[in-house]
């Protein structure tokens, strides 16, 4: 990756960290869950309104570091309007992306994969060099999955 591209990615992360999208609780909420990353102190609550298997609305509250806030903000942007299957697929691909396990081409033809959304999320792939930061970036996704599955149990990155 060129220096310029890294700078750009940094700028996107900072922008989302400063001005998070979809911050706050939506008017209608069908699923919610809390997430906690004690290593960094990130806390997040993810709210979803799911109708007929589609994420109609999504929002979040909480406090976290710039990476955690930016990742949550970006996740809410890409998940709005997605089916739960698509959300689940993106979660797995994003997880592979930030943990550096994306060499596998499994699921390359997955009809549920929104390549454009994954491309947007790839700005966070730099965290793979910082294992502590991987938890910051994935906390919101684990929390979203827990909300959808309706466990009701708080999620912890541990």
- Note the residues at the interface with Zn ion (CB under 5 A): 40, 42, 65, 68, 136
Q: By C-beta, is 68 or 138 nearer to Zn ion?
A: 68
* Least distance between Zn ion and beta carbon 10 (Å): 16
* Least distance between Zn ion and beta carbon 126 (Å): 14
Q: By C-beta, is 19 or 115 nearer to Zn ion?
A: 19
Q: By C-beta, is 140 or 147 nearer to Zn ion?
A: 140
The 3-state secondary structure of 19-60, one letter per residue: CCCCECCCCCCCEEEEEEECCCCEEEEEEEEEECCEEEEEEE
- The β-bridge partners of 45 are 34, 61
d(CA 115, CA 49): 24
How close are the terminal C-alpha atoms of the chain, in Å? Answer: 31
Q: By C-beta, is 53 or 63 nearer to Zn ion?
A: 63
* Least distance between Zn ion and beta carbon 108 (Å): 31
* Least distance between Zn ion and beta carbon 42 (Å): 4
Q: How many CB atoms lie within 10 A of CB 38?
A: 11
């Amino acid at each position: 990756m060129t220096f310029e591209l890294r700078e750009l990615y940094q700028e996107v992360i900072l922008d989302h960290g400063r001005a998070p999208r979809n911050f706050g609780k939506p008017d209608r909420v069908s699923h919610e869950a809390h997430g906690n990353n004690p290593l960094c102190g990130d806390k997040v609550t993810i709210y979803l309104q799911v109708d007929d298997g589609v994420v109609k609305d999504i929002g979040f509250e909480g406090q976290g570091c710039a990476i955690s806030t930016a990742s949550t903000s970006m996740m809410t942007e890409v998940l709005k309007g997605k089916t739960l299957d698509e959300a689940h697929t993106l979660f797995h691909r994003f997880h592979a992306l930030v943990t550096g396990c994306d060499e596998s081409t499994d699921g390359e033809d997955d009809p549920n994969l929104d390549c454009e959304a994954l491309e947007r999320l790839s700005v966070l792939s730099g965290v793979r060099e910082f294992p502590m930061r991987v938890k910051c970036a994935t906390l919101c996704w684990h929390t979203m999955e827990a909300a959808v599955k309706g466990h009701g149990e708080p999620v912890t990155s541990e």
